[in-house]
Chain A
Amino acid sequence: MKREGAWKQTMARLSGGLLLCTLLVGCAFVRGNYGDEFNIADVAAIQKGVSTRTDVTGRLGAPDRIVEVNGHEVYQYYRYDLKSGTILFFSRTNVKSDDLYVMFDSNGVVNDVVFGRRTDGLSFQFWPFGD
């Protein structure tokens, strides 16, 4: 009787495992990113009116883009983060970016720093409808 109970329990676990495996087939969770994550300490170390182009590139490396705006040079750094979920028929991929702009005056000294971090709110989703 005891042996029969153990047998039933094993079969229950096997059946549950099989069901779980077959239900999970067709699911995928994917994570990807483009570019290095910003080091907040490096961003905070850039001081308006003090830091120069050399200081900025020394800490953050070469910018991804250099734009001339309003007669001033602007360094743009960005990175992208991606989270994707797929369950059976439904797939949703969310991509968000972090952007850092460092604006210089005509002497090459930092005029302003603008940093936006959207990737903190990035989540895995699979439902492709709605917002």
Chain B
Amino acid sequence: MWSSADGRTGSAFSSGHSATEDRPRSGRSTRIGLTVALVLLSLSLWGCPIRWQRVSINDVVNPEDVAFIVPGQTTFRTIVEKLGAPDEILDSPVGPVARYRFRDLKYFRVNFGYAWKFFVPPGVPDDMVLAGGGVGTDEFLVVLDADWVVQRHAFAHHVEASQYRAWPFDPAAPSSSEDPLDDPGRAY
């Protein structure tokens, strides 16, 4: 199919420019080959056997972004002017709490059975998938007093939980010799 289009496609590509009429045949073939390779590559990628996916919710708040906050002095109004409105305002026994959150989800998936679909009839399962990921949340908490002045603030970092994981299984278990229960000299 592709070889039949080869000659015509190549000559058609060079028809717009008079200079290209004189182009060596090897250069034309290279371009045709590249075009065909690109088409074949993109056709072979239909269905995407590999996938990296990421979902981000809202913006990261970095320590340098909150360097201006001075407990006992900075007001909630000033924080809102610099950081925007929080994601949540809660009540607590010590006063209002403003929470800024950044959520990050990472997910990786690979289907090793992808090529199998070209050899088996429709309807026959052809998936062999390994996939894994995680969701992490970074949070910036501001505790305010009754006058909406900052009492204290802190970060909670959990965004490391967000990772692309190609191997979904647990790491290998320790060998039996490392198990204290196997120690014959130990009394229970």
Instruction: Spell out A's residues near B (CB within 8 Å).
Output: 5, 7-12, 15, 18-19, 22-23, 25-26, 67-71, 74, 76, 88-97, 99-101, 112, 114-118, 121, 128-129, 131
B96 touches A70 (CB 8 A): yes
Chain A residues with Cβ under 8 A from B186's Cβ? Answer: none
A96 adjacent to B57 (CB under 8 Å): yes
Q: Does B52 contact A (CB under 8 A)?
A: yes
A68 to chain B, nearest CB (A): 6
With beta carbons under 8 angstroms apart, the residue of B12, B46, B53, B80 that contacts A114 is B80
Contact at A67–B53, with CB atoms within 8 Å? no
| CB-CB under 8 A for A70 and B95, given A96-B59, A99-B87 | yes
- Chain B interface residues toward A at CB < 8 A: 5, 8-9, 11-16, 35, 38-39, 42-43, 45-48, 50-60, 76-77, 80, 84-91, 95-96, 106, 144, 146, 148
The answer to whether B46 and A26 have CB atoms under 8 Å apart is yes
A15 contacts B89, CB within 8 Å?
Answer: no
B54 touches A25 (CB 8 A): no
Indicate which residue in A9, A112, A117, A131 contacts B12 across the interface (CB closer than 8 Å). A9
Please indicate the chain A residues that have their CB under 8 angstroms from the CB of B38 in the complex: 19, 22-23
Q: Considering the chains assembled together, what is the distance between the CA atoms of A19 and B90 in angstroms?
A: 55
Residues of B within 8 A of A112 (CB): 77
Among all A-B residue pairs, the 10 with the closest Cβ atoms? A116-B85, A128-B54, A11-B12, A116-B84, A8-B15, A12-B12, A8-B12, A99-B85, A22-B42, A93-B55
**In whole Å, how far is A66's beta carbon from the nearest beta carbon of chain B?**
11
Contact B85 A95 (CB under 8 A): no
Shortest distance in angstroms between A96's beta carbon and chain B's nearest beta carbon?
Answer: 6
Which of A9, A74, A96, A128 interacts with B53 by CB under 8 Å?
A: A128
Nearest CB in chain B to that of A91: its residue: B53
Q: Which residue of B lies closest to A6 (CB)?
A: B15
Complex contact A67–B91 (CB within 8 A)? yes
List the B side residues contacting A131 at CB < 8 Å. Answer: 60
Give the Cβ gap from B158 to chain A, nearest Cβ, in Å. Answer: 17
* With contact pairs A22-B42, A26-B46, A67-B89 given, residues A12 and B16 touching in the complex (Cβ less than 8 Å): yes
Give chain A residues whose Cβ lies under 8 Å from the Cβ of B80: 114, 116
Please state if A8 and B48 are interface contacts (CB–CB under 8 Å). Answer: no
Q: Which residues in B have their C-beta under 8 angstroms from that of A117?
A: 84
